[in-house]
Amino acid sequence: MRIGLRIFLGYFLIVALAALLLAQVFVREVKPGVRQAMEHTLVDTANLLAELAAEDLVAGRIDSGRFAAGVRALGRREIGAEVWGLPQRGASYRIYVTDARGIVVFDSAGRDVGRDYSRWNDVYLTLRGRYGARSTREDPADDASSVMHVAAPVMDGERIAGVLTVAKPNRAIAPFIARSEAIVTRWGLVLMGAALLVGVLAAWWLARQLGGLRRYADAVTAGGRASLPDSAGEFADLGRALQTMRERLEGKQYVERYVHALTHELKSPLTAIRGAAELLEAPPGGRPLPAPDRARFAAAIGAQAGRMAQTIERLLALAAVEHRQRIEQPQPVAPAALLDEAWEQVAARAHDRGLRLVPEFAAAGTIHGDPFLLRQALVNLLDNAIDFAPAGSAIDASVQGGDGTVRIAVADRGAGVPDYARDRVFERFYSLPRPGGGDRSSGIGLAFVAEVAQLHGGRARLDNRDGGGAVATLELPAT
């Protein structure tokens, strides 16, 4: 499972638990809290009405006195109130009074006068000087029919003369609870949706940061070029730490690899120089070498010294390209002009072998990159063509564009590339024998070309051409 999905699922679990907790709090706290507030109000109402009913109850006119008339008038009153947006048209109270024995002597609903309520908690507890209240369903099968009863003692001096109970159905406050529940649910869903959106964005951002660093690490492990991804915060610090570690490790390995490579490549010319020097210092038989031999050995020393210098220079150039991860300041480059400048650098050598350049320029886009590196890559391709082209022949060079790519091709009419070497020509230090028994090259030029092409987001190819010879192609993205 991808880390972004794991982060999102974990965040979703937290949000779901928070929503469940919110629902539980509403069920366990908000609804009972509303009922408790109503009970608190009923306590005050019951005690107030008990004081007002005391005179009529003691005088024996509780069902016909001023108190009864006022309560019945309340039942007929059109209230017409609007409480927090909810209308209230009439009173929803039921008021009944029992005597000291618990017998109902007044009932605002007019239905239970004369009944014995002495066993109901509200009456039973109040007659014994305690707080009396109960909640009873009118329909035993319907929880919504529950009615809250709160009682208060009707006093005659120090004596409890009776009990006054105020009853109010819980459905009277149900609209307030339902509205509160709807508001809490609505905003809870909004909060949950916002939290999930934040979670998705956070998971995407974290996955993007980690994914960029993972791809960077994979590219480094594969030995390819990789740029440090744009990161923020601790991820940026981690990326810089990875890049520093990579540079130090690569620097150490790079030096070790190139020291071994340079040592290997210099062995052959050093051996030739040493042999020629020994012959010059101590010729066989002790006789001085003839002048032609001395000149030949001196020329061999000079040639091998030049080969060593060229190997070192090209190796340093290749190392500089391989160590770069990107073009720091790319510039627009015209490929035709680039080819002309490269040919000027090798024209003298080509002229010595009687070679000429046959250019073919078609419409092509510009290249965005490093002009020096691109020119040196073309110089290497032209040098390679000069080495293998038959004396007096032509070197064909073309620049073409299409499909967002610029193709620069350099072709000769030499022997072509053997099948066994086609997959290795761009390897470092791999070279083919030159025509006419000439010395092998350093084997660095084509490796340099491949590195420059890769650095610019392109590639290099070497194929055989129809009619004999080889064609080297540098493919680069056009701008």
DSSP reduced 3-state for 260: helix
For 167-191, how does the pLDDT look when each residue is reduced to its tens digit (9 = 90+)? Answer: 998 877 677 777 777 777 787 778 7
Q: Is residue 280 a contact partner of residue 298, using CB atoms and an 8 Å limit?
A: yes
Do 297 and 387 have their domain in common? Answer: no
**Which H helix or E strand runs over 449?**
helix 445-455
Q: Is residue 204 part of a domain?
A: no
Alpha helix (H) residue ranges in 26-120 = 31-59, 66-76
pLDDT band of residue 122 (cuts 50, 70, 90) is: very high
pLDDT higher for 90 or 229?
229
Q: Is residue 414 a contact partner of residue 435, using CB atoms and an 8 Å limit?
A: yes
For 59-91, how does the pLDDT look when each residue is reduced to its tens digit (9 = 90+)? Answer: 999 988 999 999 888 877 776 566 655 566 657
The rounded distance, in Å, linking the Cα atoms of 47 and 165 is: 9
Alpha helix (H) residue ranges in 353-439 = 371-388
Q: Which of 24-38, 210-224, 314-328 has the lowest mean pLDDT?
A: 314-328
pTM as predicted: 0.44
Q: Is residue 139 part of a domain?
A: yes
Tell me the CA distances in angstroms from 122 to 43, 166, 301, 406, one per residue in order.
12, 10, 124, 98
* Whole-number CA gyration radius for the chain: 51
Sheet holding 459-464, edge to edge: 356-361, 394-402, 405-411, 470-477, 459-464
Q: Is residue 54 part of a domain?
A: yes
Do 414 and 274 have their domain in common? Answer: no
One-letter amino acid at 336 equals A
HSE-up of residue 297 (Cα within 13 Å, Cβ side)? 17
Do 63 and 150 have their domain in common? Answer: yes
pLDDT higher for 420 or 444?
420
Tell me the CA distances in angstroms from 2 to 5, 206, 218, one per residue in order.
5, 11, 16
Do 284 and 337 have their domain in common? Answer: no
pLDDT at 51: 92
pLDDT at residue 123 greater than cutoff 90: yes
Q: Is residue 166 part of a domain?
A: yes
Q: Is residue 317 part of a domain?
A: yes
Q: What is the CATH number of the domain that holds 377?
A: 3.30.565.10
pLDDT band of residue 254 (cuts 50, 70, 90) is: very low
The rounded distance, in Å, linking the Cα atoms of 356 and 359 is: 10
pLDDT higher for 360 or 428?
360
Do 459 and 394 have their domain in common? Answer: yes
pLDDT band of residue 249 (cuts 50, 70, 90) is: low
pLDDT higher for 20 or 70?
70
Q: Please, is 196 exposed, middle or buried when counting C-beta atoms within 10 Å of its C-beta (0-12, 13-18, 19+)?
A: middle
Q: Is residue 386 part of a domain?
A: yes
Q: What is the mean pLDDT of residues 20-49?
A: 79
Q: Is residue 248 part of a domain?
A: yes
Mean pLDDT over the full length of the chain = 78
Q: What is the CATH number of the domain that holds 306?
A: 1.10.287
> What is the distance of C-alpha 13 from the center of its chain?
20
pLDDT at 195: 77
Do 336 and 291 have their domain in common? Answer: no
Q: Is residue 428 part of a domain?
A: yes
- Domain span at 24: 3-178
Do 31 and 170 have their domain in common? Answer: yes
Do 292 and 378 have their domain in common? Answer: no
Q: What is the mean pLDDT of residues 391-397?
A: 90
Of 307, 323, 339, the residue at which a domain comes to its end is 323
β-bridge mates for residue 95, sequence order: 166
Q: Which of 476, 327, 330 is nearest to 403 (CA)?
A: 476
Q: Is residue 166 a contact partner of residue 150, using CB atoms and an 8 Å limit?
A: yes
The rounded distance, in Å, linking the Cα atoms of 295 and 285 is: 19
pLDDT at 107: 93
For 270-288, how does the pLDDT look when each residue is reduced to its tens digit (9 = 90+)? Answer: 666 776 676 666 666 556 6
Do 308 and 336 have their domain in common? Answer: no
Q: Is residue 140 a contact partner of residue 119, using CB atoms and an 8 Å limit?
A: no
Of 140, 156, 178, the residue at which a domain comes to its end is 178
Do 341 and 434 have their domain in common? Answer: yes
pLDDT higher for 402 or 264?
402
Do 377 and 312 have their domain in common? Answer: no
Q: Which of 56-60, 193-197, 221-225 has the lowest mean pLDDT?
A: 221-225
Sign of the CA dihedral running 3, 4, 9, 15: positive
Do 389 and 294 have their domain in common? Answer: no
How many domains does the chain divide into?
3
Q: What is the CATH number of the domain that holds 169?
A: 3.30.450.20
Of 267, 298, 323, the residue at which a domain comes to its end is 323
